[in-house]
Structure 1
């Protein structure tokens, strides 16, 4: 009996966003050009804008879809399967879009309401916001400016200080914020092994005057648009988004390996599909990816139900979500590595999407949100020790 193994989960219930197949075809067809240019191809950006993919988690009040956490994650994975750079940029735009719910309505409308609005930025507080004359004067330099080539607004994490450089606070008490800038200076730093098409270059501002209502407190939560989605930790959503980008890449690796079924390696009389070690690697990779998707969907579903019922995400849920994200990321890397190795010499050529997937996922795996060190506070919490969950 002949059959095929799908990398997608079977009976696991998932709230999927409708995905435009023409959009995915455009992204796939543009992938090589995207990587060569070091930024998303214009036709890919146009297709993503038309589909609303950059604004899945932006509130409906500002022209976004305001979709569920799981639906957004599923869309990110599908787009990453078509091209990792596109999936990554969609993930960054949507996690930044979550902050729209915490902005003054007029400011949020200004930043997010236009049809082609795409926001991005690096949330770590690498910048300094000095409070003076009723505004913040921001200087700083940030890495990982993903999507800055097509973003309409970029932001960056900042520490709030007074004119003496001492710690200060925003009107709501926040001491760490995310500032949305009118413009930034891009730096030519994104020369990397993978995710080249994301244009995740460094960027900076120097003494930029930023009105206080364009800074979101990252250590306080005051919602203007109060929906279940916006009760979730921005960092938790980011970690899950990174993980599901990696899951999409792993699904693409599985797909590409199956397309090499009849390839006969040098020194062998059997095609890849007839070699027992390759069969085992394919099966293990499919199992790993199905498990990753199911694990994330289960924890997100449990957390969503809890938020709907209670209006809050408990520390237990934050830990569970971050554990699922890290585990899914690890499983995805393992699946890609097995597929790449099983493909043999064919996988090293530029003509093979497998080599791009391999490079992309290993760059994605370096993101702080899914780093191995994240397991440490999760383990502390599991032992019942006092744990700082603020960054989860």
Structure 2
């Protein structure tokens, strides 16, 4: 009986935390939307918005502890923030997911990092750095690209090769202040994510600040956690694009006939198709995210397929709205052109690319395939 009561209390607490998170980011939505053009122009989310998201716990969503968000809540938070602004949602998804690495550290080490109210960990898992063993840890050198949110980070993580007779790969967690940021994120979409290169030049990393993704880890699959926001964010962008088109269709009239855009059959069909793509992809993603753990390879493959499908379906939905709006979507004053660029930037991420679908297809067909990236 005591165990049942304890389980019920934990579930109730998690439900309350999920509601608090969703309501919190929804409450910030209008202000984030008001800043969207400025976020893109300066290529950075305002520090005050980042601080408020940190205070809500967005950047530690999946770190072990009483405030840990379940996968469905994580999707909801990322989608809601991306509905307000794609770049803000992207940083939340990347940094929030990266907090999963706290589970690989000793409890005391993780607690010290998480004690900072502005905690935000960003970085890159690709093992392009070099970590040379030394007394008490490693000396790290390397440069990593696509470090979304690095400008706001308190900690940065980078994948490294550790030399030796049998080279291994380990992740190194470094103080953000000890690293350099190369301002080179000048791109077409998701401009406000600040996904610059980061560099370590002989940074000392204590042994207790390093880990391997191959180490045992309980709960939601780690690579899937890191990928989950890549499906949720495009869906939020798609919801925003559909809303923009609906508003435009009420006021835009054909100059030759006077007919409203909303009155045209092809426009009605386009918005219906876009909404069906968005809503069905969201339902698919949530249903896979909600499945119990642990998961076998087949279940993980289906989850990753749902994530990739969300990104592709969202992009198709935005394309429909962008095309249906006609010339109006070309103006920089139209949010539709920003949604178009943002969603297509999201689909370029390697974790939702064509090779992922090939791997999933091989798993579903029962073929022998390397599933390390799942």
Q: TM-score when scaled to structure 2?
A: 0.90
- Deviation (angstroms), 1:386: 1.2
Match of 1:172 in 2: none
Match of 2:7 in 1: none
**Contact persistence 1:103–1:213 (CA under 8 A):** yes
Distance 1:167 1:336 in 2: 48
Match of 1:247 among 197, 220, 235: 235
Match of 2:253 in 1: 264
Distance 1:266 1:359 in 2: 28
Match of 1:328 among 302, 306, 310: 310
Written as runs of structure 1 = structure 2, the 5 A alignment for 1:273-292 is: 273-292=262-281
Q: How has the CA–CA distance of structure 1 residues 184 and 86 changed in structure 2, closer, same or farther, with 3 Å as cutoff? A: same
**Contact persistence 1:235–1:369 (CA under 8 A):** no
Written as runs of structure 1 = structure 2, the 5 A alignment for 1:68-217 is: 68-162=70-164, 166-168=165-167, 175-182=168-175, 183-217=178-212
Runs of 5+ consecutive residues of structure 1 not aligned to the other structure: 1-14, 169-174, 224-229
Distance 1:336 1:386 in 2: 36
Secondary structure of 1:385's aligned partner: coil
- Deviation (angstroms), 1:161: 1.7
Match of 1:300 among 282, 289, 314: 289
Q: How has the CA–CA distance of structure 1 residues 345 and 129 changed in structure 2, closer, same or farther, with 3 Å as cutoff? A: same
Q: Deviations over 1:222-265 (max 9, x none)?
A: x5xxxxxx522222122221111111111111011011022124
**Contact persistence 2:75–2:286 (CA under 8 A):** no
**Contact persistence 2:75–2:229 (CA under 8 A):** yes
Match of 1:3 in 2: none
**Contact persistence 1:26–1:47 (CA under 8 A):** no
Q: How has the CA–CA distance of structure 1 residues 280 and 108 changed in structure 2, closer, same or farther, with 3 Å as cutoff? A: same
Distance 1:268 1:180 in 2: 62
Match of 2:225 in 1: 237
Which deviates further from its counterpart, 31-40 or 130-139?
Answer: 130-139
CA RMSD of aligned residues (A): 1.6
**Contact persistence 2:149–2:193 (CA under 8 A):** yes
Match of 2:51 in 1: 46
Q: Deviations over 1:134-180 (max 9, x none)?
A: 31111111111111111111111112223xxx434xxxxxx322211
Distance 1:90 1:188 in 2: 20
- Deviation (angstroms), 1:18: 2.8
Distance 1:361 1:246 in 2: 5
Secondary structure of 2:187's aligned partner: coil
Distance 2:184 2:323 in 1: 30
Q: How has the CA–CA distance of structure 1 residues 113 and 266 changed in structure 2, closer, same or farther, with 3 Å as cutoff? A: farther
Match of 1:349 in 2: 331
Match of 1:9 in 2: none
Distance 2:201 2:166 in 1: 19
**Contact persistence 2:63–2:103 (CA under 8 A):** yes
Q: Deviations over 1:284-340 (max 9, x none)?
A: 0000011101101111122xx2x1xxxx22111110111111111110000000001
Distance 1:96 1:41 in 2: 21
- Deviation (angstroms), 1:220: 2.0
Distance 2:337 2:49 in 1: 21
Distance 2:107 2:279 in 1: 40
Which deviates further from its counterpart, 259-268 or 181-190?
Answer: 259-268
Which deviates further from its counterpart, 101-110 or 71-80?
Answer: 101-110
- Deviation (angstroms), 1:76: 0.4
Q: How many residues align?
A: 352
Q: Deviations over 1:35-81 (max 9, x none)?
A: 111110123213212322222212226xxx20101111111000000
